[in-house]
Amino acid sequence: MKLDEFRSRFPIFKRRVYVNSCSQGALSIDVDEAMRAFLDSWHESGSPWEMWVDQVERLRARFAASIGAEVDEIAVMPSASAGINAVASALSFDGRRSRVVIGDFEFPTMAQIWLAQERRGASIRRAQASPASPDRLPVRSVRRGDRRAHADRSRDARLLPQRPQDRHRRSRGNLS
């Protein structure tokens, strides 16, 4: 499919320059149709569970093939935050690998999910943006001692400010 053809599947592009792709992307006619099909099936068949499970399995297989993964390596989650939460809460922090390195650019839900693991024994380290180039995260800011740490690579264009009151609440263990 050519780029123009692909873009023509998003009606809003005819009227707007769409930049809100991080949280609610432009709606394509394909997604519009799929959402209507879902609502129609709800009206007509109630809960056609097997049909939708089959659709999810087909989605997993197609997505796995598109990134060269095995089907059982793909989990379909309702959101990125739910996915990270499932991963974070499945990790054990009572052994040697208890450090998690996050960056100054984490999306707020990502950072808060990791910070909530502190009460489970995780030690959260923050790789800080350089004051000289505050929009960059220098790799060297992840200290050598953190090499065995888990690293959350999700990034966001916005800085997550570490306000003094947050620091205080975090040290008291009541910020999650």
User: What is the distance of C-alpha 52 from the center of its chain?
Assistant: 23
Give the orientation angle of helix 108-115 with respect to helix 80-90, to 10 degrees: 20
| 50 burial via Cβ count (<10 Å: 0-12, 13-18, 19+) | exposed
Q: Shortest Cβ distance from residue 54 to ligand PLP (Å)?
A: 24
Q: Is 21 in the site for ligand PLP (CB under 6 A)?
A: no
Which of 28/154 has CB closer to ligand PLP? 154
Q: Shortest Cβ distance from residue 126 to ligand PLP (Å)?
A: 16
Q: Is 110 in the site for ligand PLP (CB under 6 A)?
A: yes
Q: Shortest Cβ distance from residue 111 to ligand PLP (Å)?
A: 10
Q: Is 116 in the site for ligand PLP (CB under 6 A)?
A: no
Among 8, 28, 55, 109, binds ligand PLP (CB under 6 A): 109
Q: Shortest Cβ distance from residue 113 to ligand PLP (Å)?
A: 10
Q: Is 112 in the site for ligand PLP (CB under 6 A)?
A: no
Beta bridge partners of residue 151, listed in sequence order: 101
Q: Is 81 in the site for ligand PLP (CB under 6 A)?
A: yes
Q: Which residues make up the interface to ligand PLP (CB under 6 A)?
A: 22-23, 79-81, 107, 109-110, 154, 156
